[in-house]
């Protein structure tokens, strides 16, 4: 009797144990070897790493979608259908930034009832996180104009720098008759919460008072890191400028056909400054021919500031030249930052050219 009871108890226990150990089907389950990876700062070349995916469920796993939160990361999964117990590898590529940090989340969407979406984190930092100038445009500025009044050229300084504060502090020019104005600062692209690609826009213009001739100079960009070893090619824009005479004559030359009998010609020449901020003051007027006379007449025009910027010269042939054709020259000297000279050629011919010769 006791043996029967014992055998019955053992059988019941086995039945209970069998019942407790049985499990219902759980479906596909995606298991990762790791869920994050940080690329080393000293790693050179393309950044890529592999993650191992395993289906630890009891049904076929299907990866329906692979996506990334950032264009800086690309995930490649060759096999998207895994049988129970089967594994595969996924390769993730990440772009290292020039400054700041790149981080991305790779999303794996599956048919698993346990967890439909798995998130994997990858990240890397720039090798050099020092703020710096990355571009100067244009590479060279050239002024070559006759009328420089109001003439300006725009240039842009682009930098990688912290979002807080300003890395570029000022721009100066070593030519005293050029002036630099700050126009705007644009955050072209925010790389991270800490760093941005920033553009500083400036205008450089010719001042009203300027010399004439050809000059070479530079624009020098100053930064908050001026004491660091920033090479000059990353901080300077060469300038070439060819400034012509700031005063022009209208007409530029004089011509007359002298009749055998009759009056001698006269002209009025207007002298105009291209820049209106300084008076047009004639210092002296000379001619190189005894038959030619020139003198300044009353200034007729004033600019908005009350300064005269228009003068006139009265020119006349005071007697018939002995030989025709005859060539003369009027030379007018003006005050300016440099001495400005206007030369006006005069030519007279006549019906007596053959006879006079």
- Check which CATH number belongs to the domain holding 86 and give it: 2.60.40.10
Domain coverage including residue 325: 247-356
Its pTM stands at 0.48
What is the pLDDT at residue 356? Answer: 41
What is the pLDDT at residue 219? Answer: 94
What is the pLDDT at residue 345? Answer: 92
**Is there a domain that residue 16 lies in?**
no
Residue 31 and residue 91 in one domain: yes
Residue 144 and residue 225 in one domain: yes
**Is there a domain that residue 2 lies in?**
no
Residue 94 and residue 138 in one domain: no
Ranges of residues in the chain whose predicted pLDDT is under 70: 1-25, 144-150, 188-193, 212, 226-234, 244-246, 273-280, 298-309, 335-340, 351-357
Q: How far, in Å, CA of 70 to CA of 191, rounded?
A: 11
Residue 258 and residue 275 in one domain: yes
Q: Which of 85, 104, 125 is the last residue of a domain?
A: 125
Residue 326 and residue 343 in one domain: yes
What is the pLDDT at residue 297? Answer: 80
How many domains are there within the chain?
Answer: 3
Residue 233 and residue 317 in one domain: no
Q: What is the pLDDT of residues 254-309, one digit of tens each?
A: 999 988 777 899 999 888 765 554 556 778 889 999 999 999 886 555 444 444 56
Residue 99 and residue 140 in one domain: no
**Is there a domain that residue 17 lies in?**
no
Residue 155 and residue 140 in one domain: yes
What is the pLDDT at residue 149? Answer: 52
Residue 288 and residue 270 in one domain: yes
Residue 236 and residue 275 in one domain: no
What is the pLDDT at residue 314? Answer: 92
- Check which CATH number belongs to the domain holding 143 and give it: 2.60.40
**Is there a domain that residue 80 lies in?**
yes
């Amino acid at each position: 009797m006791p043996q029967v009871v014992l055998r019955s108890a053992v059988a019941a226990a086995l039945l209970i144990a069998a019942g407790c150990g049985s499990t219902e089907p759980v479906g596909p389950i995606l298991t990762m070897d790791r869920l994050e990876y940080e690329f080393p700062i000293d790693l050179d070349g393309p950044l890529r790493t592999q993650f191992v995916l395993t289906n630890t469920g009891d049904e076929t796993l299907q990866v329906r979608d692979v996506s990334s939160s950032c264009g800086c990361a690309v995930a490649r999964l060759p096999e998207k259908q895994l049988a129970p117990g089967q594994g595969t590898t996924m390769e993730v590529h990440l772009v290292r930034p020039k400054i700041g940090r790149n981080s991305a989340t790779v999303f794996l969407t599956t048919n698993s009832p346990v967890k439909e979406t798995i998130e994997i984190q990858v990240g890397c930092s720039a090798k050099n996180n020092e703020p710096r100038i990355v571009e100067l445009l244009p590479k060279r500025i050239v002024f070559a104009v006759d009328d420089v009044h109001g003439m300006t050229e725009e240039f842009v300084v682009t930098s990688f720098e912290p979002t807080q504060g300003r890395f570029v502090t000022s721009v100066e020019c070593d030519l005293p008759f050029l002036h630099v104005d700050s126009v705007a600062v644009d955050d072209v692209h925010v790389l991270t919460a800490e760093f941005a690609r920033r553009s500083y826009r400036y205008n450089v213009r010719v001042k009203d008072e300027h010399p004439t001739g050809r000059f070479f100079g530079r624009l020098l960009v100053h930064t908050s890191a001026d004491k660091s070893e920033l090479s000059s090619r990353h901080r300077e824009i060469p300038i070439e400028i060819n400034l012509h005479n700031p005063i022009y004559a209208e007409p530029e030359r004089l011509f007359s056909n002298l009749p055998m009998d009759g009056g001698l010609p006269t002209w009025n020449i207007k002298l105009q400054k291209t820049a209106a901020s300084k008076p047009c003051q004639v210092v002296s007027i000379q001619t190189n021919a005894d038959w030619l006379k020139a003198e300044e007449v009353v200034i007729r025009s004033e600019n908005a500031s009350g300064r005269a910027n228009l003068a006139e010269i009265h020119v006349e042939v005071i007697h018939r030249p002995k030989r025709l054709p005859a060539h003369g020259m009027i030379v007018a000297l003006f005050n300016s930052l440099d001495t400005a000279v206007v030369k006006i050629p005069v030519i007279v011919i006549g019906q007596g050219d053959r006879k006079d010769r």
